[in-house]
């Protein structure tokens, strides 16, 4: 695993497309039990090199019902984005994750994690890649139907502060989905 992580962190496959240059962000361990697949690091995470070290990460930890210490314990959580480097700014936020990373590195990481029990897929890019034809017509419907993807996958919206309107519009998420997510995470980590 350490050799693989070193290779990923040294990756420059798409460097000409990265405005801030390559800085692959990933955390994993052979004993990881839960994998969180997000989109791509933002500028703050690119600076610090710490996955989910931003307001989105704080919200995600609340949804999971875990402390920072638990979240950053790689024997518990592997933090694997769809795109390992900051992709740049677009018209309405960051650009989509680079398409090279997931096919290049994800399966190799999964092959090194025999204790994996749950894959949390955050946002449309991760859900599109992992759920393919099984995902519903949009993110809201996919998240609503989360039971149908268990026990392997648990789809979530992105925890970004930009999604506060989605959360207001879909109160069922924090009433029904988040408590179930927290229970499942607690059982797996115990």
Spatial CB neighbours of 18, under 8 Å, sequence gap ≥ 6: 85, 86, 87, 88, 98
Residue whose pair of structure tokens reads 């610090």 in the numeric block: 48
- The pLDDT score that the predictor gives to residue 162 is 86
Mean pLDDT of 86-102: 91
Pairing of strands 118-122, 34-38: parallel
Residue whose pair of structure tokens reads 């050799």 in the numeric block: 3
- Using the Cα atoms of residue 160, residue 164, residue 165 and residue 167 in order, give the sign of their dihedral: positive
pLDDT digits 0-9 by tens, 135-168:
999 999 999 999 999 999 999 999 998 889 999 9
Decide: residue 55, CB within 10 A, 0-12 exposed, 13-18 middle, 19+ buried: middle
User: How far, CA to CA in Å, does 165 sit from each of 41, 59, 171?
Assistant: 22, 14, 10
Tell me how far apart the alpha carbons of residues 72 and 91 are, in angstroms, rounded to a whole number.
32
pTM for the model stands at 0.95
Two structure tokens written together for 19:
């405005």
- DSSP-derived letter for residue 82 is S
Two structure tokens written together for 74:
């790689």
pLDDT digits 0-9 by tens, 54-74:
999 999 999 999 999 999 999
Q: Which of 103, 84, 108, 92 is nearest to 17 (CA)?
A: 84
Taking the mean position of all CA atoms in its chain, how far away is CA 14?
Answer: 20
């Amino acid at each position: 695993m350490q050799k693989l992580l070193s290779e990923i962190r040294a990756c420059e496959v798409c460097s000409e497309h990265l405005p801030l240059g390559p800085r692959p962000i990933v955390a994993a361990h052979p004993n990881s039990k839960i994998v969180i697949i997000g989109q791509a690091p933002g500028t703050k995470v690119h600076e610090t090199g710490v996955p989910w070290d931003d307001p989105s990460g704080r919200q995600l930890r609340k949804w999971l019902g875990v402390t920072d210490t638990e979240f950053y314990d790689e024997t518990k959580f592997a933090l694997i984005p769809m795109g390992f480097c900051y992709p740049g700014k677009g018209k309405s936020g960051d650009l989509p994750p680079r398409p090279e990373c997931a096919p290049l590195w994800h399966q190799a990481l999964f092959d090194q994690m025999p204790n994996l029990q749950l894959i949390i897929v955050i946002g449309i890019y991760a859900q599109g890649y992992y759920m393919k034809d099984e995902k519903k017509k949009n993110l809201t419907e996919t998240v609503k139907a989360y039971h149908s993807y268990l026990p392997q996958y648990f789809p979530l919206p992105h925890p970004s502060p930009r999604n506060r309107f989605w959360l207001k519009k879909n109160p069922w998420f924090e009433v029904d989905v988040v408590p179930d997510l927290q229970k499942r995470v607690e059982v797996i980590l115990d």
